[in-house]
């Protein structure tokens, strides 16, 4: 019995050192693995959350609105339908009484035609009055020419009668002097009474001729004055007529300009009516899918600018909208790479070893907002990386997403030391590395 106990005790003493040696190997192996792991490469990164959106505003959901008030008469689509640009979405009818007339366009067109006819009449009247002014000016020219000739003739008659009067005065003076000498000679007995009587007759004839010449000159002067007065009267009368016609032309032009203004308003009104008639059919502004219908019943009224349905792009240019902290913003530049994780998509992530991750997709920074968002972070848009596998087609707008921004490659030991020290990731590059990256 003692031999058996001694043998069992010896076996135990021999087994314990083997276990210790194994434990030592495990500890040494783990330590070596950790030491080796410290020299493994590690990709520094920053994480941020966001949602799926589109890179261009055209691909984002938008509302279909009515630009006029109306009453729903018929729907041409239902939720989920795919439509092309210009397809009819809904038909509405008029609810404003000033547009109830079914022949509103025709009546407005008749008003336009009538106003155009009135403008044509005004133009014809202006042309007629202008021709009348031309005729009056021609008549004035002719009448003035005749009156000027008459004035010239009367002036010449005045000169002629004035010369005859001067001659008659000279003859009367000579006859009077001869009579005086004859009376003196008759007293002296040098001439006979017959000769004296002859001289008296000549003196009377000369006096009579002087009076006649004076009367003729007076008549010529009066005719000359009348001719000048008639000349002025003709010019005044014709100018008065011309000014009156020209005033009527200006009045007609004023009426025509007013009619032109009214015609322009009617044309504008007609165009507005025609455009309004075209707005009774609400058309799809783009190719996409109808996702929400706000108004459902036939006969419901809608207001101007009210949304009746929403449409989304059937093939959107997807992007991920991420929000990064202000302290991480200097680390991000356009063209930086991101790994994207989508909600609902199976993913295995090793943040420091992006190559070992599964279910992540590549992205490239496309837009960086310069203004901070309401949540206190900066918005960054990440588009698909064209050099990697495309994003899944099952992704829908508004779905959740998480982004991992890839920064500098360092050693695991350095990354542990950096995190323990509270230092930020490295983003300062030397000039040599920067030129290398740019190249």
Q: Pick from 229, 217, 215: which is nearest to 151 by CA?
A: 229
Looking at residue 428, its pLDDT comes to: 42
CATH number for the region 104-278 comes to 1.10.287
Looking at residue 204, its pLDDT comes to: 81
Pairing label, strands 88-93, 318-324: unpaired
CATH class name, domain 62-94+280-312: mainly beta
How many CA within 13 A on the CB side of residue 163? 5
CA distances from 109 to 106, 269, 271 (A): 5, 10, 10
Looking at residue 45, its pLDDT comes to: 64
pTM: 0.55
Residue 172 contacts residue 199 (beta carbons within 8 Å): no
Looking at residue 427, its pLDDT comes to: 47
Q: Pick from 154, 119, 438, 134: which is nearest to 253 by CA?
A: 119
Which residues are 82's β-sheet partners? 289
CATH number for the region 42-59+316-438 comes to 2.40.30.170
Looking at residue 315, its pLDDT comes to: 79
Looking at residue 260, its pLDDT comes to: 92
The residue ranges of every structural domain in the chain are 1-38, 42-59+316-438, 62-94+280-312, 104-278
* CA distance linking residue 316 with residue 398, whole number of Å: 12
Looking at residue 238, its pLDDT comes to: 86
| Per-residue model confidence as pLDDT tens digits over 357-372 | 555 788 888 888 888 8
Residues of the chain with pLDDT > 70: what percent?
80
Which of the residues in the chain have pLDDT under 50? 1-2, 5, 9-10, 13-16, 353, 356, 427-439
């Amino acid at each position: 019995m003692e031999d058996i106990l001694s043998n069992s005790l010896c076996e135990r003493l021999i087994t314990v050192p083997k276990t210790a040696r194994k434990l030592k190997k495990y500890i040494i192996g783990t330590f070596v693995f950790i030491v080796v792991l410290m020299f493994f490469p590690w990709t520094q990164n920053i994480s941020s959350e966001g949602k799926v959106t589109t890179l261009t505003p055209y691909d984002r959901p938008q509302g279909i609105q009515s630009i006029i008030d109306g009453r729903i008469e018929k729907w041409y689509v239902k939720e989920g339908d795919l439509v092309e640009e210009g397809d009819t979405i809904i038909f509405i009818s008029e609810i404003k009484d000033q547009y109830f007339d079914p022949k509103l366009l025709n009546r407005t067109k008749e008003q336009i035609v009538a106003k155009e006819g009135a403008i044509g009449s005004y133009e014809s009247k202006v042309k007629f009055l202008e021709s009348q002014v031309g005729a009056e000016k021609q008549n004035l020219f002719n009448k003035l020419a005749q009156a000027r000739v008459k004035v010239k003739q009367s002036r010449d008659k005045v000169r002629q009668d004035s010369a005859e009067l001067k001659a008659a005065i000279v003859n009367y003076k000579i006859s009077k002097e001869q009579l005086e000498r004859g009376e003196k000679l008759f007293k002296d007995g040098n001439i006979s009474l017959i000769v004296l009587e002859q001289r008296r007759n000549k003196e009377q004839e000369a006096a009579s001729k002087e009076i006649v010449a004076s009367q003729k000159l007076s008549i010529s002067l009066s005719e000359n004055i009348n001719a000048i007065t008639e000349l002025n009267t003709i010019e005044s009368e014709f100018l008065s007529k011309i000014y009156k016609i020209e005033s009527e032309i200006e009045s007609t032009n004023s009426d025509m300009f007013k009619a032109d203004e009214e015609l322009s308003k009617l044309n504008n009104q007609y165009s507005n009516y025609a455009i309004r008639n075209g707005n009774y059919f609400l058309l799809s502004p783009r190719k996409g899918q109808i996702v929400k219908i706000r108004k459902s019943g036939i006969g419901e009224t809608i207001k101007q600018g009210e949304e009746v349905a929403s449409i989304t792009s059937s093939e959107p240019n997807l992007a991920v909208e991420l929000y990064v902290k202000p302290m991480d913003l200097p680390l991000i530049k356009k063209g930086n790479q991101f790994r994207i994780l989508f909600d609902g998509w199976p993913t295995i992530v090793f943040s420091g070893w992006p190559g070992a991750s599964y279910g992540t997709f590549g992205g490239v920074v496309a837009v960086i907002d310069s203004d901070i968002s309401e949540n206190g972070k900066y918005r960054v848009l990440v588009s698909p990386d064209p050099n990697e596998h495309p994003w899944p087609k099952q992704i829908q707008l508004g779905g959740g997403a998480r982004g991992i921004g890839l920064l500098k490659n360092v050693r695991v030991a350095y990354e542990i030391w950096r995190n323990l020290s509270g230092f930020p990731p490295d983003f300062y590059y030397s000039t040599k590395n920067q030129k290398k990256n740019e190249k």
